[in-house]
Amino acid sequence: MSGNQPTPIWRKTHLWCFSTYFAEGFPYSIIRSVSTFFFRDMRVSLEAVGLTTLFGLPWILKFFWGPLVDEFATKRRWLLAMQAALAALVAFAAFLAPLPGGVRLIAILFFAGAFVAATHDIAIDGYYLAALDKVQQTKFLGYRVMAYRVAMLTGTGVIVSVGASLSWPAAFLCAGLLLGLLVVYHYFFLPECEVERRPFRHMARIFARPRLLAGAALAAAVVAGLFLFFRSALFRGWAEALPLLKELTFARAVGLGLVLALALVAALRRRLAALLTRDPDSFYGRAFLSFMEQEKIGLVLAFIVLARSGEFMVSSMASPFIIDLGIRQHYGWISGGVGLPASIAGAMIGGWMISRLGLRRVIWPFLLAQNLTNVAYMLLAAGLSPYLEAHAGAAPALFIGTGNLLLAAGVHGFDQFASGLGTAVLVTFLMRICKAEFKAAHFAIGSGLMSLGGIVAGVSSGFLASWLGYPGMFLVSFLISLPGMLLLLWVPKE
């Protein structure tokens, strides 16, 4: 089939765009969110539950194997293969849950499943970029964000409810069955949109190379050593002497290391280019080099990493802030009844305005709106500071009043709406910097790097909140969002 956009894909875009991005968000919710409910319900310690943050590493690291999805088979075949594997993995968890050592086995299973899910994301994003042109990509951006949000709510709402009210084996079995139905639907109704470059079986030759195996073994040894170090008495002693280190987890340390590695790659890109181009047929090398050789790449990389730094800091502390206000019992309807519709509306309106006005005209005001939510939270925290002080270690919580409750819900709704706008323009920006030959690889690189902004924010937000209080932390989060917005003056936007 030709690599051009076939008519059937355009006619069915509403359906497959929703179904594929629902299929992308649902495994993420199971592995990242539902798992924490499950482990805590199984009376796993809070320290062990905290280790589930490791499940997020593959979504940061996915750009390392993103080029493989472009080079071998087709995005549709990758999508179906990973989706089927996820259905089997989640369903298998249903049989492990009742076993004596089932909880530990499920943790290992989900960690492996995180790599499958991250690869699944690469395939879906690559399919979206290959099947649609730039105008269509922008037009259907709202649908993909909406489907992803609905999938997250299905996982944290429906599947968790089944696990809590019936049993966790029933919950995991339902989740696996739902993914299995999506596999069947996509197998029969998801159109093909590209020609296969190289078959799957040729990929085995790459992984059989001695240098690659040695490098993988070395990387695994380094990661294992780092993991053991963070659990050692030596690190705990350092953390007691320097409280900031308590905020530094294994996952965040890996993310910070990747930021430093990225800066080193940017500085040495010419030497790396000479090294990687020794083999002119190296698709893997050309995928990374073509990304690094774009116009003003230094500014582009800085913008990608910084663009959501302030937002990530707010998102890390928004839930604890709501709890410390003493309105945790209202969080369900605030999040689901106000936040979710506002987020979907922001994404839909954002996609529509980008398609009508263009990215260049809306990216700055949309990002400004996204970062003004930090100021809104700051003002809310300052206005309700007496309740924050009263609830510090106090029980039962004092009711903040109906008016203040509605004000808090309104700020959360504005936050989610503006976040939807910001997501729309940033996803569009990432799509625009993807070159035709390496769409899946380039989007994986861009989205992986953008998530690194949350590493530093996650390390610092809790420390700043305890040191400066919530108003001061929200003010700092707005200030650190300014460099990303200023870079828009020089970053290419088309």
Q: Between the CA of residue 21 and those of 146, 189, 252, 337, what are the distances in Å?
A: 9, 15, 27, 21
What is the domain count for the chain? 1
pLDDT per residue as tens, the chain (494 positions): 444 444 445 457 778 889 999 999 999 989 988 887 788 778 776 556 656 767 877 887 787 788 888 888 889 999 999 999 999 999 999 999 999 888 989 998 999 999 999 999 999 998 998 888 878 887 788 788 888 878 887 887 788 888 878 899 999 999 999 999 999 999 998 988 887 777 777 777 766 677 767 877 887 788 788 778 877 888 888 878 777 676 666 656 766 666 676 667 666 666 766 665 566 556 666 777 777 777 787 888 888 888 888 887 887 677 677 767 877 677 667 777 787 788 888 888 888 888 888 888 899 999 999 999 999 999 999 988 887 776 654 555 677 788 888 998 999 899 889 988 888 888 888 888 877 777 777 888 887 777 776 666 655 676 777 778 889 989 998 998 899 899 988 887 66
Strand partners, 198: 72
Three-class secondary structure of residue 72 per DSSP: strand
- Establish if 4 belongs to a structural domain: no
- Establish if 342 belongs to a structural domain: yes
Q: At a CB cut-off of 8 Å and minimum separation 6, what does 228 contact? A: none
Q: At a CB cut-off of 8 Å and minimum separation 6, what does 200 contact? A: 72, 73, 77
The CATH number assigned to the domain holding 420 equals 1.20.1250.20
- Establish if 155 belongs to a structural domain: no
Show the DSSP H helices in 132-209 as ranges.
134-139, 141-153, 160-165, 168-189, 203-207
**Gyration radius of the chain over CA positions:** 23
- Establish if 420 belongs to a structural domain: yes
**Is 358 exposed, middle or buried, given 0-12, 13-18 or 19+ CB atoms closer than 10 A?**
middle
For residue 266, what pLDDT is reported? 63
- Establish if 432 belongs to a structural domain: yes
- Establish if 468 belongs to a structural domain: yes
Separation of alpha carbons 136 and 57, rounded Å? 31
Express each pLDDT in 63-93 by its tens digit. Answer: 778 888 888 888 999 999 999 999 999 999 9
For residue 7, what pLDDT is reported? 42
- Establish if 100 belongs to a structural domain: no
Host domain of residue 439: 302-489
Show the DSSP H helices in 358-494 as ranges.
359-383, 385-390, 402-432, 439-479, 482-486
Residues in the chain: 494
For residue 419, what pLDDT is reported? 86
Q: Between the CA of residue 22 and those of 69, 322, 324, 454, what are the distances in Å?
A: 20, 28, 33, 23
Number of neighbours of residue 255 by Cβ within 10 angstroms: 22
For residue 165, what pLDDT is reported? 82
- Establish if 414 belongs to a structural domain: yes
Separation of alpha carbons 354 and 363, rounded Å? 8
Which residue's structure tokens are 């088309």? Answer: 494
Taking the alpha carbons of 365, 351, 71, 433 in that order, is the dihedral positive or negative?
negative
**pTM of this structure:** 0.74
